A and B are shown apart, each in its own frame.
Chain A
Amino acid sequence: MRACSVGRPGISYRAGSKMPWISAFASGSVISEESKYAMYADGELSDTGSLPAELGREVSMSGKKKRGKVVSYNKWGYIFLIPFVLVYVIFQLIPLVTTIYNSFFENYRQGLMQVGPNFVGFDNYKAILTNGDMWVYAQNTFIMWILGFIPQIIVSLLLGAWFSDTRLRLKGTRFFKTVIYLPNLIMASAFSMLFFTLFSDGGPINSILMQIGILDSPYSFLSHAGSARGLVAFMNFIMWFGNTTILLMAGMMGIDTALFEAAEVDGATSTQVFFRITLPLLKPILIYVMITSLIGGLQMFDVPQILTNGTGDPMRSSMTLIMYLNKHLFSKNYGLAGALSVFLFIITAILSMLVYRFSNRKEA
């Protein structure tokens, strides 16, 4: 039973007791997505869901005669929360508030002169909306995200279906899973630097392509908008499809095996099974994967920043929103940086809401 993956039978036991399929499908070393979704149910679970908690409380009631004792234990809940709350408020909440605050002030540097901070209301927002740069960069970000996401989701679905297909019985799935997840962990900036050297005019890729005879002269990948964006998208694809595969596979193993068996009895081909059963039942997880990937895509920075040396060239066609933000932060243009941050915050918040809504609907 590899399902007791994290080394403790508890996890697989709980997942198993809730959803019998996971123990049946124990070949996959992944813990159910289901249990994660369950957690989203507005914190309900912590009180009602877990048996041990219930048990514990009972013991505590019978074990302790004095009521005051119980209360004095529970104050430790607050004490243990102090580090988190303190650090969160100082290093994340205050910065968030001051970022929003900054967005209402004119505050930038012109040469050596510091302008502001002067209160200007929504002028920064107006400036950033009418300037047009943000739209171009948003478009770039979206194009590079979608170029990476489409192959990613196709490959991940295919691999997920193969890995979780019991009839196929692929050997060495553990090896393949290890390999496809590897690129996700490497330093994006170093990977990007590696690609820059490999795809440079005198780099190995050009030299290989010329040796084979595909090219006569080196192709400068980074001076064409298409190939520069393509490289960024390709790197994102390589780095993230392993992660997506593992998520989708967890979802696929959550599908009731009886459905597959019934389809097999009815003589359905594996293609039919995939499109008629797997895909429709996988929809909630697909949506989850897509939205979280979009949130990640919005934060695209390291790869294009290093690849293009922060310029987003050629013709700023691979400049992303966060690169734009980074530029404003470095030039101490805090007013516009604030407004841009608020926009990004709002978009992320909306996308996150969608994730929660879909997760909750699945729960219900």
Chain B
Amino acid sequence: MANNNGQQLKKGMNIHVRRTLAYIVLAIISFLCLCWFYILVINATRSHADLQRGFTPIPSSFLAKNMNGVLHGTLPVFYGLMNSLIVSSLSAVLCTYFSAMTAYAIHAYHFKMKRFMFTFILMIMMIPTQVTALGFVQLIDKMHLRDSLIPLIVPAIAAPITFFYMKQYMESALPLAIVESARIDGAGEFKTFNTIVIPMMKPAIAVQAIFTFVSSWNNYFTPALILNSDKRKTLPILIAQLRSADFLKFDMGQVYVMVAFSILPVVVIYLLLSKFIVQGVAMGSVKG
């Protein structure tokens, strides 16, 4: 009995030690994840001269001035923000709507090519966009769509990963009996899809809309190949431009504000909706 108690005690101690250790490691790792944002925000509030003098963890009062400088500076930041916003939101809308439609086609109907299509989409899921970039650029040139936002938006319609997520969600959350009853009530197939299926898919659409928005917002490779005029550039291209310009000429406070402009909208969206996102990761895990 005493022996048993001793063992219990030892185990209890063990748990406490392990728990403390876990909290320490988690704290360090959280610090590693978050400190960059802290430094970024602090530095965005400081003036160029202030920044040259070294790092301090206390915010200063130059944020408004830096922001003003960035928006009226040489880089077309305002256009960049607008273009990024347009491309990402339209991509998110098109991608989720049409992926749901594709998934619905495979899920709800029985036709000859069905199994082939499903396998085919699974197979093309892993092909990286970079591999087809050469042909893509040539095609865009032939279509006279260079320097247009269209080639960044329309291809979002064919998104195998989003399709896969939607299909999986439908398996569990879209009983075909509901579709059937809509048919009996005389709704057309297209109307059924828009008024019954889409509302039922809302949770999945929300998760995938966020993912598509974010990956489109962050995309640098394809836009850099297609966009070249100042009025069309998206934020990642401006960041690259900032990097390749003569660095010493820039006001460092403005550089930090510019980086903050690119990062913080996504961070805000994430913090508001993190519950859904973290849950969505495991399901849509084929990403990256």
Contact = CB atoms under 8 A, between A and B. Distances in A.
Interface of A: 5-8, 10-11, 13-15, 29-33, 35-36, 39-40, 42-43, 45-47, 49-50, 52-53, 55-57, 59-60, 63, 73-81, 83-85, 87-88, 90-92, 94-99, 101-102, 155, 158-159, 162, 167-170, 174, 176-191, 193-198, 200, 202, 204, 207-208, 211, 238, 240, 242-243, 246-247, 249-250, 269-270, 292-293, 295-296, 298-299, 301-302, 305-306, 309-310, 322, 325-326, 329-330, 334, 337-338, 341, 344-345, 348-349, 351-352, 355-356
A96 to B, nearest CB: 5
Interface residues of B, number: 121
Nearest to B133: A329
Interface in B182-207: 183-184, 189-190, 193, 203-204, 207
B288 A194 contact: no
Interface string B237-277: 00110111001000010011001001100110011001111
B279 A77 contact: no
Contacts of A309: 243-244
Contacts of A15: 172
A191 B151 contact: no
Given A95-B135, A194-B259, 4 more contacts: A47-B115, A78-B105, A83-B158, A84-B157
A222 to B, nearest CB: 11
B136 interface: yes
Contacts of B118: 43, 46
B131 A345 contact: yes
A298 B135 CA distance: 19
A5 B172 CA distance: 13
25 contacts: A29-B279, A30-B279, A33-B285, A43-B115, A56-B179, A77-B106, A87-B98, A168-B22, A174-B278, A176-B26, A179-B34, A180-B30, A183-B36, A186-B263, A190-B239, A238-B32, A247-B282, A295-B128, A302-B220, A306-B240, A322-B221, A338-B134, A341-B130, A349-B127, A352-B125
A77 B114 contact: yes
A75 B138 CA distance: 35
Contacts of A155: 29
B30 A176 contact: yes
A94 B132 CA distance: 9
Given A52-B177, A170-B22, A207-B55, A96 B107 contact: no
Contacts of B13: none
Contact of A180 (B33, B124, B169, B176): B33
A40 B287 CA distance: 15
Given A6-B207, A189-B240, A84 B163 contact: yes
A225 B39 CA distance: 26
B168 A13 contact: no
Contacts of B101: 80, 83-84
Contacts of B29: 155, 159, 176, 180
Interface string B106-146: 11111101110111001111111011111111110000000
Contact of A302 (B105, B123, B221, B235): B221
Contact of A31 (B114, B123, B283): B283
A57 to B, nearest CB: 7
Contacts of B9: none
Provide the main secondary structure of the chain A interface. helix
Contacts, number: 384
B19 A170 contact: yes
B73 interface: no
Closest 7 A/B residue pairs (Cβ)? A56-B176, A95-B135, A77-B109, A80-B105, A98-B135, A10-B173, A204-B55
A102 B131 CA distance: 12
B230 interface: no
A175 B165 CA distance: 25
Contacts of B193: 80
B90 interface: no
A69 B124 CA distance: 33
A329 B134 contact: yes
A99 B169 contact: no
A330 B133 CA distance: 11
B40 interface: yes
